[in-house]
Amino acid sequence: MKNLLRFTLMVVLLTLVSLPAHAQTDFVGVVRVESAFARALPAFDAEPLASVFDDERLEVISRNLDGSWFEVRRPGRFNTLGWVFEGIMDWDFQPELLPLGDFTTGVVGPYPLTQSTDDAIYVNEGAYLREQPLRRARMIMELPALITIPVLGRNQDGSWVFVNYLGQQGWMIAFAGRPIPNWLEIPMPPNLPPLETPPVVTIPVELQQAQIDRLRAFIHERYALAAGLETFWWRVFRGEIMPCAAPPEIVDYPYGEADVRELPELGRYAPEVAQAVAYLNRAREPLLHCGIVGPEVTIAARNAAINARVVFDATLERLQILEEEVVQVRR
């Protein structure tokens, strides 16, 4: 009996040791709508298989091609319920660590995946898909924020990743996504161009700090608006009657070539902020037409406010890193 117990413990320990260092097992979400369908495929027009209800906990076992749908089951069950849209649940995990459970539904590009991939990246902010891992390379399309997409390769230093978005393939700059822990294990395609070496320009640190402070102040004001609209639309979705008072139209961050010369990183950050501003204007747009709004409108408006907040968060974090690692060090 003791030998059997010792063997069982050994099996358990070996199993735990064999898990990857970045593995995550608590893929759980809580339904936050009154009811919704779990469907046979990750698509709104797919056959409904089961119903899920408000406050129900669900285990997530896989994701679809862009991470917008999760395959779920009830806790402790082996049979799956089907696919649910991720926006109907509250969840707090890294979807890029989920296995790819469907790689055919929703494909629109000329390069559909033929098998699952080991690696994926969560896109924190909008990014461009390019033909080569170079900033000057031709743009194929713009990628939306808050998606999870398969990674097929990387460049020499991992600053670019080769991805597949719904059948469209190309290179995405890596800083637009969440860091990939095992990026060194991702294969490199042949015939990669040399790494870009931008020219080094010395800029007075006081000018850099002033540019950082100005952009940060702009973001903080609009971040508060995004958080307010997120709460507003959630309360509307839950059935509360709210005042119809649209905030003024949000304008883009004002900057020019002289500002970019003083803070070259502004050339990356300002387009991110512009995308967040666009999300904010989408979140305020339904308020321009007072009256009864349907659930799909409130969900879309709330998602737009969330997207704006997430992009603002990412940009503020990069500003903080820039200030700590570049500006303050030079002082």
Residue appearing with tokens 């009256």: 291
Q: What CATH number labels 119-185?
A: 2.30.30.40
Q: What CATH number labels 2-94?
A: 2.30.30.40
Confidence class of residue 221 from pLDDT cuts 50, 70 and 90?
very high
Region 67-88: what's the mean pLDDT?
Answer: 95
Region 11-31: what's the mean pLDDT?
Answer: 55
Q: Do domains 2-94 and 119-185 have the same CATH topology?
A: yes
Q: How far apart are CA 47 and CA 316, in angstroms?
A: 42
Q: How far apart are CA 155 and CA 31, in angstroms?
A: 39
pLDDT tens digits for 158-187? Answer: 999 999 999 999 999 998 999 998 888 999
Which of 303, 215, 225, 228 minimizes the C-alpha distance to 262? 215
pLDDT tens digits for 225-252? Answer: 999 999 998 998 888 888 888 888 889 9
DSSP state of 155: -
Which of 303, 330, 324 minimizes the C-alpha distance to 32? 303
Least confident of 22-26, 86-90, 130-134, 274-278: 22-26
| Residue 49 dihedral angles phi and psi, to the nearest 5° | -110, -30
Region 51-55: what's the mean pLDDT?
Answer: 96
Confidence class of residue 13 from pLDDT cuts 50, 70 and 90?
very low
Q: How far is CA 213 from CA 285, 316, 327, in A?
A: 29, 11, 12
Mean pLDDT rounded to a whole number for the chain: 87
Residue appearing with tokens 């997430």: 310
Which of 195, 201, 287, 213 minimizes the C-alpha distance to 250? 287
Sequence ranges of the domains in the chain = 2-94, 119-185, 205-330
pLDDT at 161: 97
pLDDT at 293: 83
